Amino acid sequence: MDRNTVLGFVLIGAILFAYSWFNKPSDAQLKLQQKYNDSIALVEKQRQIAEKQAKQAPAEQIQLSDSAKAAKFGSFAAAATGTEKIETLQNDLMEVKISNKGGRIYSVRLKKYKTFDKKPLYLFNGNESSFNLTLHAVNNQLINTGDLYFTPMLKDSTITMRLNAGGNSSLDFVYTIRPKNYMMKFDIVSSGMDSLLASNVNTMQLKWSQRLRQQEKGEKNENKYANLYYKYTTDEVDYLSDSKDDQKELPNKVKWIAYKDQFFSSVLIAQNPISSVNIASRVLKNEPGYIKQYDTDALIEFNAKNNKPISFSYYFGPNHYPTLKNLDKGVKNDEDKLRLDKLVPLGAKLFRWINQWIVIPLFNFFEKYISNYGLIILLLTLVIKTVLFPLTFKSYISSAKMRVLRPQVEELNEKYPGQDKAMDKQRATMDLYKKVGVNPMSGCLPMLLQMPILIAMYMFFPSSIELRQQSFLWATDLSTYDSIFSWSTQIPVLSQFYGNHISLFCLLMTATNIVYTKFNMEATNTGQAQMPGMKTMMYLMPVMFLFVLNQFASGLSYYYFISTLITILQTLAFRKFINEEKLLAKLHANAAKKPAKKKSSFMARIEEAQRRQQEIVREQQKQRQKRK
């Protein structure tokens, strides 16, 4: 790892540090978060007390009398009693069960996927999800659909859950599943409800909650990619924090809300945007089998006199980029596009562009002809390294030019010994490079141009559902870590940052990077003095990546391992086929025939800075001599 590589990583570190610093929460935000946490704790405590009392109370005590039902539910009293029944809609891709209690979706199973331990994959099941509408009835009554029993009516691929309110008054939840599609239509249809509901209220309150199941082996990594996403009516897509409890009151109307896991999502899409939306995400730390709790509270425009359906759609399916992108196929108006492909985190604008237009098309092309995803990653790496070859070659030539000038640089080191002549030595070295036509910074630009690819791949592999449960060599799942040894004992610090396992691909990547660092340090020794601790830092960086990537997707570690290995082979090939004696002779020839060249403004500024620094050093030396 040469100094250009180190410079690249230092720049990335500085950017990440600055981003963390400027985005840290203010005192007001911390107080608001603490208030939210306290309210959540209070609600949870009240829920536990209510559950305990419900379990202890005899059945006859919790059943309401007819008069009590009439007082609480009014015209909907007849629907307050019933027995829960489950109806099923399904196609080739998913099975959706709907309960007559509340008319809500009871469970969703994706047929083509399994959990990490090979069990059927449910996005949610039973009480893990809830959906409730609050109606404002006459006499200031609040009617919650979740408390009432609907009457199911089946017709082909449609289930209608009807809430009868007596006479010709009813409220229907109509679910329609589509063949070979992860989308499901959901309509709310009212009939004859205007006399039963308050005439001065034109909204319904919607409450939707879901506890997110752990579907993957790496819980920590899965948590990192599980977010509550939302999209405004404009093209803006945003999300809550993935690492801590978070909540937000959305100021604008919202087109859709997504309860997203690492590889799967439940998305509620409104035909007419909803308003007054409050969303919350809570990390479930002590509930095995679950990772997060998502909640939405919003208002739906509703006019009981108008029997026009209120239309929604659900997306229950994988976070598969081509699938989500195709949902906008044929939609010409940008404002009408769902942009659900944003659920696949491919990085910021530049890195997302690389993944969208280069990496994913290449990946999909290889996928058509090759079923082994380890080989696909290998081919993808070879293509990327081939494209980057000119930049790699240019960076090597820049380092080689400085390396062959090492004897002259060492002579300058002897000519200007000591710290007091450091500026003279630096100026003489720069004059030497300028004389022979070598730019010390020319190796940095190729390295910086490669960094976006490096970061884009870092975002691509953990988000690629194609790698999920795909095996290669010893790795049984390229979308998560490839453990060759694990332990259950929690080791302070180590378990938190490294995990309780050893990933072989990550270990190979680290070892390869250490070998490359040693090899490259020897190959790029130009004779110039390095900063104190630079050598240690260069060896420390691969070790840091060992801790960072040990719990990441093994496909990512495998890519970095192959990429580094190819870089080593390229460097060896360069050294074998590039005659450094001829290169040195060419530099001397440049110095002999090259006329004096006007200094660039950049070099002029560097030399001016060096001159000023030299004056400061000399002034400090004079002051020390006077004190003596």
Domain segments of the chain: what residues? 3-16+351-593, 84-345
Query: Counting Cβ atoms within 10 Å, is residue 227 exposed (0-12), middle (13-18) or buried (19+)?
Result: buried
pLDDT at 168: 83
pLDDT at 419: 66
**Position 55 confidence tier, pLDDT thresholds 50, 70, 90:** very low
pLDDT at 330: 85
pLDDT at 526: 53
Query: Counting Cβ atoms within 10 Å, is residue 474 exposed (0-12), middle (13-18) or buried (19+)?
Result: exposed
pLDDT at 40: 45
pLDDT at 420: 63
pLDDT at 608: 65
pLDDT at 219: 83
Strand, coil or helix: what is 336? helix
Say whether pLDDT at 413 is over 80.
Answer: no
Residue 391 CA to residue 10 CA, distance in Å, equals 20
Query: Counting Cβ atoms within 10 Å, is residue 279 exposed (0-12), middle (13-18) or buried (19+)?
Result: buried
Residue-wise pLDDT for 130-144, tens only, equals 999 998 887 778 888
Tokens of 195: 């006399």
Segment 236-243 shows an average pLDDT of 89
More confident residue, 111 or 427: 111
How far are the Cα atoms of 269, 273, 337 from residue 334, in angstroms, in the given order?
Answer: 16, 16, 5
pLDDT at 198: 78
pLDDT at 65: 54
Of 143, 147, 131, whose CA–CA distance to 84 is shortest? 147
**Position 61 confidence tier, pLDDT thresholds 50, 70, 90:** very low
The answer to whether the CB of 351 falls within 8 A of the CB of 459 is: yes
| Separation of CA 96 from chain center | 28
**Position 594 confidence tier, pLDDT thresholds 50, 70, 90:** low
pLDDT at 321: 94
The answer to whether the CB of 136 falls within 8 A of the CB of 197 is: yes
Tokens of 428: 């003489």
The answer to whether the CB of 466 falls within 8 A of the CB of 363 is: yes
CATH of the structural domain 84-345, one choice from 3.30.1370.160, 2.70.98.90, 2.40.50.140, 2.40.400.10: 2.70.98.90
Residue-wise pLDDT for 302-341, tens only, equals 887 777 889 999 999 999 999 999 999 888 887 888 999 9
State the pTM of this model. 0.78
Residue-wise pLDDT for 504-539, tens only, equals 999 999 999 888 887 777 665 555 555 555 667 777
Residue-wise pLDDT for 255-309, tens only, equals 999 999 999 999 999 998 999 999 999 999 888 899 999 999 999 988 877 778 8
pLDDT at 403: 75
Strand, coil or helix: what is 230? strand
120-125 and 227-232 beta bridge pairing: unpaired
Sequence-separated (6 or more) residues with CB below 8 Å from residue 182: 93, 94, 315, 316, 317, 318, 323
pLDDT at 46: 42
Q: Is the dihedral of CA 363, 366, 372, 376 positive or negative?
A: negative
pLDDT at 516: 84
Residue-wise pLDDT for 471-517, tens only, equals 999 999 999 988 888 887 878 877 777 888 889 999 999 999 888 88
DSSP character string of 367-422: HHH---HHHHHHHHHHHHHHHTHHHHHHHHHHHHHHHHTHHHHHHHHHHS-SGGGH
DSSP state of 475: B
Secondary structure tally for the chain: helices H, strands E: 19, 20
**Position 383 confidence tier, pLDDT thresholds 50, 70, 90:** very high
**Position 542 confidence tier, pLDDT thresholds 50, 70, 90:** confident
Residue 24 CA to residue 412 CA, distance in Å, equals 48
Sequence-separated (6 or more) residues with CB below 8 Å from residue 519: 568, 571
**Position 42 confidence tier, pLDDT thresholds 50, 70, 90:** very low
Backbone angles phi, psi at 129, to 5 degrees: -140, 150
Window from 21-25, 148-152, 550-554, 609-613 with minimum mean pLDDT: 21-25
Segment 176-199 shows an average pLDDT of 88
Q: Which helix (H) or strand (E) holds 628?
A: none
